[in-house]
Amino acid sequence: MPFTPKSLFGSIPALITPMKDGAVDEIAFRQLVRWQIAQGSNGLVPCGTTGESPTLSHAEHMRVIDITLEESDGRVPVIAGAGSNSTAEAISLTRHAKEMGADAVLSVTGYYNKPSQEGIYRHYAAIAEAVDIPIILYNIPARAIVEISVDTMARLSKIPNIIGVKDATANLARVLRERAACGPDWVQLSGEDGTALAYMAQGAQGVISVTANVAPKLCSDFQKACREGRWSDALKLQLKLMPLHDAMFCEPSPGPVKFAVSQLGLCTDEVRLPMMSVTDAARTRIRAALDQVGIKAE
């Protein structure tokens, strides 16, 4: 089925990148991708922050995207992480994602550089002009320091291949403001599991989720309930998932989610410096959250 912006919906995990002895564990990653699709995930995002993209080499980054595309084999959309605080590097990563067959890219604002709103606009406009692929903006001021204003987003929405946003601001007042500014076809994906219910209730299409790495079926069921307007069921599922949402950020991500997935026997909990594996206290909390939502550790 040809890709359209409407193809992006539901539960879309921001995939972890399994590691073993300092290297990307390709066998574990392939297994993870297959499991995600079998469990009902509606799309996949390799090489986001949860996938430790800042510490992947360019070769590793490209390989992780390639594996995702190979294993998904067109069954679900693949939104490749292709952001950088260097516009030239972002264009290079975006070009590779298109060449490999990704359906869209996720592109973050210029973290650390702290560009102005005009700088943010020109950064994204340059990427969109250089590579003809659907682009999802990634608005995450907690990590990037800078935030895409609603006015800037409205300007960017007029560029044909900039089609939507992953919103990790947790600012629920923005949802309707962005829709009013960008139009009804603007793809709105929550980037924050804890506020996803309220985000969906305001007309969003889905969520790019951390928790879906470890609870893909529950997250998919939650999203399905939202899309079908079964808000009472969605609330029950979100209440069930909330302890796990919170546990995934009890220490810096992706340490907690990697440990959680390791408890399912799908990978090790190894991360790359400067990230750290979680503490004993966090392990206890994560195990308790898994048990609370009915996920049995090995």
297 confidence band (pLDDT: 50, 70, 90): confident
Provide the pLDDT for residue 296: 82
3 confidence band (pLDDT: 50, 70, 90): confident
pLDDT digits (tens, 9 = 90+) for 31-58: 999 999 999 999 999 999 999 999 999 9
Which structure tokens are listed for 118? 């005009």
Provide the pLDDT for residue 99: 97
Q: What integer is the mean pLDDT of 165-176?
A: 95
Provide the pLDDT for residue 298: 67
138 catalytic residue (yes or no): yes
Tell me the average pLDDT of the chain: 96
- H helix intervals, the chain: 26-38, 58-72, 87-100, 117-130, 141-144, 150-157, 173-182, 196-201, 216-227, 231-247, 255-262, 280-292
Strand order in the sheet with 104-108: 10-13, 206-209, 187-190, 162-167, 135-139, 104-108, 79-81
Catalytic residue among 98, 166, 224, 258: 166
What span, in angstroms and rounded, lies between the C-alpha atoms of 90 and 59? Answer: 14
Ramachandran region, residue 74 (left: φ > 0; alpha: ψ -120 to 50; beta: rest): left
Residue 207 pLDDT > 70, yes or no?
yes
Q: What integer is the mean pLDDT of 192-201?
A: 96
CATH number of this structure's domain 5-228: 3.20.20.70
Q: What integer is the mean pLDDT of 46-75?
A: 96
111 confidence band (pLDDT: 50, 70, 90): confident
121 catalytic residue (yes or no): no
112 confidence band (pLDDT: 50, 70, 90): confident
Q: Which of 42, 47, 41, 56 is nearest to 16 (CA)?
A: 47
Provide the pLDDT for residue 92: 96
Q: What integer is the mean pLDDT of 154-162?
A: 98
What span, in angstroms and rounded, lies between the C-alpha atoms of 258 and 269? Answer: 5
CB 55, CB 79: distance < 8 Å: no
Residue 1 pLDDT > 80, yes or no?
no
Q: What integer is the mean pLDDT of 245-263?
A: 98
Catalytic residue among 111, 121, 124, 138: 138
Q: What integer is the mean pLDDT of 85-89?
A: 95
What percent of the chain is predicted at pLDDT more than 90? 94
86-120 burial code (b ≥16 CB/10 A, e <16): ebeebbbbbbbbbeeebbbbbbbbbbeeebeeebb
What span, in angstroms and rounded, lies between the C-alpha atoms of 114 and 284? Answer: 37
Provide the pLDDT for residue 110: 85
What span, in angstroms and rounded, lies between the C-alpha atoms of 188 and 134? Answer: 14
Which structure tokens are listed for 8? 């992006």
